[in-house]
Structure 1
């Protein structure tokens, strides 16, 4: 099985909460994601935004088991921290600010 297939399966498993009793899947997913990120700031930026969005979308999906949704919220700081370290211009700073606002509004709505 290729890393790409494994990565897509992990994304799907996380997004749909298919194994809510397996929180270690987050660390596996992050490590495989890291292997796929090219050595450019732009690639790392986009990969972390995609991770953030997958975790936020999963958290906001009320069909997903609640313990899995909260695990997603617990892990969302990882891509946010990485994004804060990658900011290199005003546009990225604004984009990060929008993500933080989206997280604040979403997490408030679903509490």
Structure 2
């Protein structure tokens, strides 16, 4: 028997993704997407807000130069998935316009190199 999704656990997964606390665990992103879907299904999250929030999470993480490069690339690779879900929800002109803006933002995203940790910078 699967237990109901928890908002606390969902927020913790968001923090782990955003701060790259589990940068060696790429399955975390898919689990987060699945958990978000389950929370929408249970009525704990609004579907549009969950999709746009996931997109923002992935894009913000991807463009954060303080995080490891491989994690940033993985987040960028998954940023399209929430947009696919939003496509099905874009039933009015306002949502279609917003979705178009988000798609454009993703298309124009350029990743700067990640910062390099160096002991020489600490002196």
TM-score normalized by the length of structure 2: 0.79
| Structure-2 change in CA distance of 1:39 and 1:6 (3 Å) | closer
Residue by residue over 1:86-110, the C-alpha shift from the partner in whole angstroms, topping out at 9 and shown as x without a partner, is 11011111000110121122x2353
Aligned residue pairs, count? 108
Partner of 2:73: 70
Q: What does the per-residue CA deviation read over 1:11-70, in whole Å, with 9 as the maximum and x for residues that have no partner?
A: 000011111110000111111111211578x92111100000000000010001010000
1:26 aligns with 2:58: no
In the alignment, the residues of structure 1 paired with residue 22 and residue 12 of structure 2 have an alpha-carbon distance, to the nearest angstrom, of 12
Runs of 4+ in 1 over 4 A off after TM superposition: none
Structure with the larger helix share: 1
Choose 1 or 2 for highest CA Rg: 2
Q: What stretches of structure 2 of length at least 5 have no aligned partner? A: 114-123
- Structure 1 regions of 5+ residues with no counterpart? none
Write the mapping of 1:1-111 to structure 2, written as runs, cut at 5 A.
3-38=6-41, 43-105=46-108, 107-108=109-110, 110=112
Call closer, same or farther: CA 1:28–1:73 in 2, change over 3 Å: same
With the length of structure 1 as denominator, give the TM-score of the two structures: 0.87
